[in-house]
Amino acid sequence: MTVASPPKGTGPLQRREARLAWMLLLPTISIVSLVVILPLLAIFWISFKPIGLADLRPVTPVVREDLRNAGDPDQAIRYRVQNRSQDTPIENVVFTDTIPEGATLGILPPDCSLTGAELTCVIGTLEPRDRLTFLIPVTLEGDLEAMEDALEDDTEAAATGEADSILTNTEFTVANFVRVFDANEFWTVMWATVFYTVFGTVGALVFGLFAALLLNKSFKGQGILRGLYLFPYVAPVIAVAFTWVNLFDPFSGSANALLVQMGVTVETINFFGQRPLALIMVTVFEIWRYFPLSFLFILARMQSIDTDMYEAADMDGASPFQKFWYLSLPMLLGILSVLFLLRFIWTFNKFDDIFLLTGGNAGTRTLTVNVYEQAFAISNIGAGAAVAVVIFGCLLLFSFFFFRFISREEGL
């Protein structure tokens, strides 16, 4: 008689190991949730709400306190309670204040009461843009200046109330997406984004591969030259961006002066101010700035390739191009695929380069620049979040096709 053993991985020891593994992963999962998942969910939430930049400030009543006609027989404390919202009422509004010693209040308004030194006034509902004023007679004893300072201290007066928050209520709308897709410039922005991303990514890979082929040899000064190749990538983006802007300036740029003196052009060229040249220039800047990253990874992969097959190819009389095409390139397809995926995602999300070079003008407005303009230039946070969701959807679709087709062919 044989006793059946429990299925693999379901014994007491395996279950304890699984619980321990999940406990060890809990800090990582919590950090990822806080840093990645929660902000992503917040963007999706905001994209379905008509939120402006001013709506991010919670709707609360504001109370201001000052002393009127100080030293006169009809002196009084003035309280001004205000609802600064343009469209949201505040309910159950109550403001309180602590009356300092030496101050005696006169007849109180009907909605106000005094308990010891604590003044409480019940207002009720405060409509949008409403402003109420309360004048309460007061008699002051002692140092008049000190009493004035104590009464006019706004930190003592406080107002509370309840208001519906557009951020937390359950009212949703697709108006932000309708506005984004109905905009006349949306497909122009999408075309600029695709052009900038595809050509910027492919160009960076091609130039990185070419640089790696040049420096995959031993010669004097090799280390210095490799370090210089990394300069565009490690240099501060704001410094190199303004250098390019000044270099290609149509009035004082060295590039225009050189072209005019050489007779290439009669008039100066506004490289970053006219279509479609501006889009081409920001794409060239993208290639120049980020090809060192591709160069670094490709060179590292090249140096790990066994040299015996190159020696065998030399004995068979293979040309340099044949050795590259049939030997080097198949070995590099894996790293090229990974670099293409990373560079495509990073370039699609790129904002600072274009914003520093052109500000999104002259046909260089990409989706990320459009997020900034919708959210902060027009103060429509909801529309900006909707464009961000469109970016997320595009990258999700690209990642699906990449892992479904390209990575399978390359064995990733």
The reported pLDDT for the residue numbered 395 is 92
246 and 346 co-located in one domain: yes
Q: Write the CATH number for 101.
A: 2.60.40.290
195 and 335 co-located in one domain: yes
159 and 190 co-located in one domain: no
The reported pLDDT for the residue numbered 86 is 81
- Work out the pLDDT band at 8, boundaries 50, 70, 90: low
The reported pLDDT for the residue numbered 239 is 92
- Work out the pLDDT band at 156, boundaries 50, 70, 90: low
pLDDT of 5 above 60: no
317 in any annotated domain: yes
169 in any annotated domain: no
The reported pLDDT for the residue numbered 147 is 64
The reported pLDDT for the residue numbered 343 is 93
Can you state the percent helix, strand and coil of the chain, rounding each to 5? 55, 15, 30
Tell which of 108, 130, 163 closes a domain: 163
Report d(CA 110, CA 136) in Å as an integer: 11
Tens digit of pLDDT for each residue in 235-253?
999 999 999 999 999 888 8
Give residue 258's domain range.
186-364
Three-state DSSP state, 302 = helix
C-alpha closest to that of 159 among 92, 237, 241: 92
306 and 198 co-located in one domain: yes
Report d(CA 226, CA 293) in Å as an integer: 12
C-alpha closest to that of 154 among 90, 229, 97: 97
14 in any annotated domain: no
Average pLDDT on 264-273 reads 88
The reported pLDDT for the residue numbered 180 is 85
343 and 217 co-located in one domain: yes
Q: Write the CATH number for 329.
A: 1.10.3720.10
138 and 226 co-located in one domain: no
- Work out the pLDDT band at 143, boundaries 50, 70, 90: low
Average pLDDT on 114-126 reads 88
Average pLDDT on 259-284 reads 90
11 residue type, one letter: G
The reported pLDDT for the residue numbered 407 is 58
Residue 367 CB coordination number (10 Å): 23
Return mean pLDDT, the chain: 85
Are residues 297 and 205 in contact, defined by beta-carbon separation less than 8 angstroms? no
149 and 85 co-located in one domain: yes
234 and 310 co-located in one domain: yes
31 in any annotated domain: no
Are residues 354 and 364 in contact, defined by beta-carbon separation less than 8 angstroms? yes
64 in any annotated domain: yes
Q: Where are the alpha helices (DSSP H) in 303-380?
A: 308-315, 320-323, 329-348, 352-357, 367-372
Report d(CA 130, CA 146) in Å as an integer: 32
399 in any annotated domain: no
- Work out the pLDDT band at 159, boundaries 50, 70, 90: confident
195 and 324 co-located in one domain: yes
Greatest mean pLDDT among 13-22, 87-96, 307-316 lies in: 87-96
270 in any annotated domain: yes
Average pLDDT on 191-217 reads 92
393 in any annotated domain: no
pLDDT of 412 above 60: no
Assess whether the previous peptide bond of 276 is cis (omega < 30° from 0): yes
The reported pLDDT for the residue numbered 84 is 85
Tell which of 163, 178, 204 closes a domain: 163
Share of the chain above pLDDT 70, in %: 92
**What single-letter DSSP state applies at residue 157?**
-
Number of domains in the chain: 2
112 and 210 co-located in one domain: no
218 and 340 co-located in one domain: yes
Are residues 139 and 91 in contact, defined by beta-carbon separation less than 8 angstroms? no
More confident call, 391 vs 221: 391
223 and 308 co-located in one domain: yes
pLDDT of 269 above 70: yes
The reported pLDDT for the residue numbered 339 is 92
The reported pLDDT for the residue numbered 2 is 52
C-alpha closest to that of 216 among 125, 298, 97, 154: 298
Tell which of 364, 387, 406 closes a domain: 364
144-153, 337-346, 365-374: which range is least confident on average? 144-153
pLDDT of 391 above 90: yes
Report d(CA 393, CA 246) in Å as an integer: 37
- Work out the pLDDT band at 1, boundaries 50, 70, 90: very low
Please tell me the pTM assigned to this model: 0.78
